[in-house]
Amino acid sequence: MIVVVFGGKSPEHEVSIESAKTVCAELLKAGFLPKPVYVTKEGYWLLADYQALKAGGKLGGEFIEPSFKEGCFKTAGGKKIKPAAVFPIIHGATGEDGKLQGLFELLGMPYVGCGVTASALGMDKIISKKLAAAAGAPVLPHVLIRAAEKKHRNPALKKAAGLGFPLFVKPVTLGSSVGITKVKKARELKAAVNYAFHYDTAVMVEKGIDHAREIVCGVLGEGYGARASVCGEVRPVGGHEFYDYEAKYLDENGMKFILPAPIATGIARRLRELSVIIFGALGCHGMARIDFLMDPGNENKFYFCEINTVPGFTSHSLYPGLWAKTGLPPAKTVAKLVGLAVKRRKQLSHLSTNRE
């Protein structure tokens, strides 16, 4: 039995529900029994019925809670749930930032994806950029504004404007393009920063590339020994200036996903190499998607944008599509991820907790 944890206290709650549908379906194809666990927006954990999830029905069920003493989950009626592994598919805050991973570590449960530290590092756009740059990946300049500086931020706004337009204003620890604004003029900057502060206590103003090509690469495995998928290109269409939340999830015709990306073989090879290097530099495990921005007039000018340690798994998400094109269908991808989770837990269980 594989517990699939989804939903969560995150602006990406609805996206997580769609990802859970796909993950459960692919786990079944791979020969596993999925057990969906729905985390409400209020933070309650409920057993969910897979058929109801699949049909878009009511997700609520029996309450469950962790039992640290027994290393399992327990229902309100006292039934124990001890899965072979957990597949967390909560995107964004509380699911992708190390908090949920810490819970599974305390329970001693195998879980899919990055550990506590790598999850927290990957979720922070500032720290992940610094680590990627230190590992040799080119990055774009940015200005960081924290909540404590909101009342005295004019110098920071002036510095950001000095980077040149367009600029992208982003919450530092959020995904799925939530809270992001493309700013073309100085007078738009303050409002964009205010908007981003609705979602986070830290905001990044990053130098943009006008009409940048968005190149993505999936990574699967362990640290520097992981594999990289083929590169894909995301092209916003239908009036979307970049791959924003609406283009990703609300507009069925909001983007074209081109596989493989139409870029030179040498450039594609370098991006795949960098993806594994960044994955390893952050101490990642299991899965991640690495996103790059490329100058539309010169494909030799590319920059690390961000890493997604719990990438979308919806029916039209990028990560499973990248691996399918590389020769690994979704059912085999989820099976590989479960295997990696079990392997890591075995390795951790052999570590000594006693001082000798």
Q: Tell me which residues are annotated as active site.
A: 12, 176, 249, 289, 291, 306, 308, 312
Using DSSP's 3-state secondary structure scheme, residue 197 falls into: coil
Q: What is the dihedral of CA 206, 208, 214, 216, to 10 degrees?
A: -20
Three-class secondary structure assignment of 73-100: EEECCCCEECCCEEEECCCCCCCCCCHH
Burial per residue of 30-53, b for 16 or more beta-carbon CB atoms within 10 angstroms, e otherwise:
bebebbbbbbeeeeebbbbebeeb
75: exposed, middle or buried (Cβ count in 10 Å: 0-12, 13-18, 19+): middle
Angle between the N-to-C axes of helices 330-349 and 13-29, in degrees from 0 to 180, rounded to the nearest 10: 90
Dump strand ranges (E) for the chain: 2-7, 34-39, 45-47, 64-67, 72-75, 80-81, 85-88, 142-146, 167-171, 181-183, 202-207, 213-222, 227-236, 255-258, 285-295, 298-308
CA 4 to chain centre: 16
State how far the Cα of 53 lies from the Cα of 19, in Å rounded to an integer.
11
Helices (H), strands (E): how many in the chain? 11, 16
CA 214 to chain centre: 16
**Could you give the C-alpha distances from 147 to 10, 96, 130, 283, in angstroms and in order?**
20, 22, 21, 29
